Amino acid sequence: MESIAVYQIYSSFKVTGRGIVLIGKILEGEIILNDVFIEFEFDKQILKRRIKEIDEAIRISAKKSGLGILIEISDEEESINLSNWGPNHTIGKIYINR
């Protein structure tokens, strides 16, 4: 797999029936949506999840917007844990599967 971007995660929330959305910004590179994965640390372990969708117009506050990344989740427990997560600017690495 080839690294294509670095993404800083500010927050996360659950979209029922679809997955978890990570909100943040791209620090380096760019994200293309074609067999792409994000890898980040959560609860002292590294998670690697497929990116399903990208939304560029997510508003974080009145003065700040971010890039939303919808990711696949492994199960309902992971969904609950990630939706309650406080990522504290966790760094994620974006990879393309070639």
State residue 6's pLDDT score: 95
Report d(CA 44, CA 55) in Å as an integer. 27
pTM of the predicted protein model:
0.87
User: What is the span of the domain harbouring residue 25?
Assistant: 2-56+67-96
CA-wise closest residue to 92 among 10, 34, 1: 10
- The CATH number given to whatever domain includes residue 34 is 2.40.30
- Is residue 48 a part of any domain in this protein? yes
Domains contained in the chain, number: 1
Residues 6+ apart with CB under 8 A from 3: 29, 93, 94, 95
Q: What per-residue confidence (pLDDT) applies to 62?
A: 56
Answer whether residue 73 is part of any domain.
yes
pLDDT of residue 59: 60
- Token pair of 83 as six digits: 């939706």
Kindly report, residue by residue over 40-56, the tens digit of the pLDDT. Answer: 999 999 999 999 999 87
The answer to whether residue 62 sits within a structural domain is no
pLDDT averages per 10-residue partition of the chain, 98 residues: 91 89 92 89 94 77 75 92 93 90
Determine the pLDDT at residue 17: 85
* 89 part of a folded domain: yes
38 domain residue, yes or no? yes
